[in-house]
Amino acid sequence: MEQMIYQSLPSTSLGLSSVGGTVSVCSIHHRWPSVWPSVSLSSFSSSCFRKRNLKKAKPLAFTPHHHHHQQPQNQEDEDFQVLTATRSHYNDIVILDTPKSRVLLLDSSHNVHSILYKHQKWTGSYWDEFASLPAIVPQGPIAILGLGGGTAAHLMLELWPALQLEGWEIDQILIDKARVYFGLSDLEKHTQAGGVLNIHIGDAFSPSVNISGGYAERKARFNVAVQTKMASIIVDLFSGGKVLPQLEEVTTWSELYNLLMPNGRFMVNCGGTSGATDSIGNPDSSTNETCVQNSTIKALSKAFPGQTNWKKMAETNGENYLALTGPLPDLVSWSTMVPDPLCSSVLQWRPYESLTTNSTPPVHR
pLDDT tens digit string along 283-293?
333 222 224 57
What is 126-357's CATH number? 3.40.50.150
Which stretches within the chain are classed as H helix?
Answer: 11-14, 126-130, 151-159, 172-181, 184-187, 221-225, 250-257, 295-303, 331-336, 342-345
Single-letter code of the amino acid located at 218:
R
Q: What is the pLDDT of residue 274?
A: 52
Per-residue model confidence (pLDDT) at position 316: 77
Evaluated on CA atoms 9, 11, 12, 15, the torsion sign reads positive
pLDDT of residue 286: 29
Q: What's the distance, CA 315 to chain centroid?
A: 16
Structure confidence at residue 28 (pLDDT): 34
CA atoms within 13 A on the CB side of 113: 31
pLDDT at 65: 53
pLDDT computed for residue 263 by the predictor: 96
Say if CB 306 and CB 353 are below 8 A apart: yes
pLDDT at 207: 58
pTM as predicted: 0.75
Q: Are 328 and 312 in contact (CB under 8 A)?
A: no
Tell me the residue length of the chain: 365
Residues 127 and 305: their CA atoms lie apart, in Å, by: 26
- pLDDT (tens, 9 = 90+) of the chain, 365 residues, equals 222 333 332 222 222 222 333 333 333 333 333 333 333 333 343 333 332 222 222 223 344 554 433 333 344 556 889 999 999 999 999 999 999 999 999 987 778 899 999 999 999 999 999 999 999 999 999 999 999 999 999 999 999 999 999 999 999 999 999 999 999 999 999 999 999 999 999 888 765 444 444 333 333 333 333 468 999 999 999 988 889 999 999 999 999 999 999 999 999 999 876 543 444 433 333 222 224 578 999 999 999 999 999 999 988 777 889 999 999 999 999 999 999 999 999 999 999 975 554 444 444 43
CB-based contact 201:169 (threshold 8 Å):
yes
pLDDT in tens, 95-107: 999 999 999 999 8
Distance CA 250, CA 305 (A): 11
CB 6 within 8 A of CB 49: yes
The domain ranges of the chain are: 5-117, 126-357
Check if the beta carbon of residue 72 is closer than 8 Å to that of residue 81.
Answer: no
